[in-house]
């Protein structure tokens, strides 16, 4: 019996009617809410043509939106790579059998999860120069803050994913002579990453949106350039915020789509792994799955 048939019962005729009615009611309510918001903006003259005209001019995109988008993607890309590396390293550290490794690793993760990201970026930009005796750029202040906070959250996700795997896999690997490093690298971490992929993607989406907190150190990211600076020149803060929100939605949707594609891709590869069945006279016959 498949898992879906156990966890989910197909609705009967009455349930289908009820679901259809509720869907229609919800759709009408949603349309009503959209119209109410539209009418309120219309009363405030936010649909005036002169407010939206700047977005038809090339210089609006070349001077404000595209430079801000590039700064956001650059900080988010570097922060994602460093956060994933940070998360894997400290997840493994927390799972270590040596207290002198697991305890400090746990303290680091819990500390950076507890500190607000905005305060962390502020401290890196203004406080860290007193320690290292040289200034820290706005870019690296944002990236370091994103790495420490999101990397700590990802470390907990990886640790939970590794803990959720059946213990027999580790025992089988140790039985054939594999070292703990090999077990982590070749068996546990890849499976944990696939199992926790939705959580990882959700956190990376949060990381991308958190680049907007770079305004505290005047980092010229998308929100700063596309809303604050643009509205200061054209006086159209609401239309600018709407356009930038759409850009964020598109980027996050693309990231979610890529994660889904990657999950389907890895699932297809696993399905193609051949399995063996016993043949006659002790021989084995390779039988493809799927």
Reported as a single tens digit per residue, the pLDDT across 205-231 is 899 999 999 988 989 999 999 998 988
What does each C-alpha distance from 35 to 22, 31, 32, 38, 94 come to in angstroms? Answer: 20, 6, 5, 5, 51
CA distance 109 to 116: 13
Contact 220, 74 (CB under 8 A): no
CA distance 196 to 121: 27
pLDDT-derived band at 195, boundaries 50, 70, 90? confident
pLDDT-derived band at 192, boundaries 50, 70, 90? confident
What is the residue-wise DSSP string for 138-157?
HHHHHHHHHHHHHHHHHHHH
In this predicted structure, the answer to whether residue 286 has a pLDDT above a threshold of 90 is no
Say what percent of the chain tops pLDDT 90. Answer: 46
In this predicted structure, the answer to whether residue 255 has a pLDDT above a threshold of 50 is yes
**Strand 275-278 with 284-287, pairing:** antiparallel
pLDDT-derived band at 113, boundaries 50, 70, 90? very high
Please, what are the domains in the chain?
Answer: 51-267 (1.10.3720.10)
Contact 94, 102 (CB under 8 A): yes
Residue 268: the pLDDT is: 58
Residue 271: the pLDDT is: 52
Q: What is the mean pLDDT of the chain?
A: 84
In this predicted structure, the answer to whether residue 152 has a pLDDT above a threshold of 90 is yes
CA distance 11 to 286: 41
Mean pLDDT of 98-127: 92
**Which of 15-19, 131-135, 209-213, 248-252 comes out lowest in average pLDDT?**
15-19
Tokens, residue 196: 């926790």
Contact 251, 241 (CB under 8 A): no
In this predicted structure, the answer to whether residue 143 has a pLDDT above a threshold of 90 is yes
What does each C-alpha distance from 112 to 142, 149, 199, 272 come to in angstroms? Answer: 14, 5, 18, 41
């Amino acid at each position: 019996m498949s898992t879906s048939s156990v966890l989910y019962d197909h609705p009967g005729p009455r349930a289908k009617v009820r679901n259809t009615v509720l869907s229609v009611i919800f759709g009408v309510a949603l349309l009503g809410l959209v119209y109410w918001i539209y009418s309120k903006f219309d009363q405030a003259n936010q649909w005036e043509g002169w407010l939206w005209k700047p977005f038809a001019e090339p210089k609006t995109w070349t001077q404000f939106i595209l430079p801000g988008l590039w700064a956001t993607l650059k900080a988010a890309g570097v922060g994602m790579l460093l956060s994933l590396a940070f998360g894997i390293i400290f997840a493994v550290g927390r799972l270590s059998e040596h207290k002198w490794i697991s305890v400090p690793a746990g303290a680091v993760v819990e500390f950076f999860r507890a500190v607000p990201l905005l305060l962390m970026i502020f401290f890196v930009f203004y406080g860290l120069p007193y320690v290292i005796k040289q200034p820290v750029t706005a870019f690296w202040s944002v990236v370091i803050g994103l790495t420490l906070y999101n990397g700590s959250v990802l470390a907990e996700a990886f640790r939970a994913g590794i803990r959720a795997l059946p213990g027999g896999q580790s025992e089988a690997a140790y039985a054939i002579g594999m070292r703990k490093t090999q077990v982590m690298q070749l068996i546990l971490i890849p499976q944990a990453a696939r199992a926790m992929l939705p959580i990882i993607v959700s956190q990376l989406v949060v990381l991308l949106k958190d680049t907007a907190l770079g305004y505290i150190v005047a980092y010229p990211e998308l929100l700063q350039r596309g809303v604050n600076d643009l509205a200061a020149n054209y006086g159209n803060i609401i239309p600018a915020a709407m356009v930038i929100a759409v850009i964020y939605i598109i980027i996050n949707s693309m990231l979610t789509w890529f994660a889904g594609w990657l999950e389907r891709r890895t699932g297809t590869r696993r399905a193609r792994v051949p399995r063996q069945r016993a043949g006659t006279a002790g021989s084995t016959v390779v039988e493809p799955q799927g």
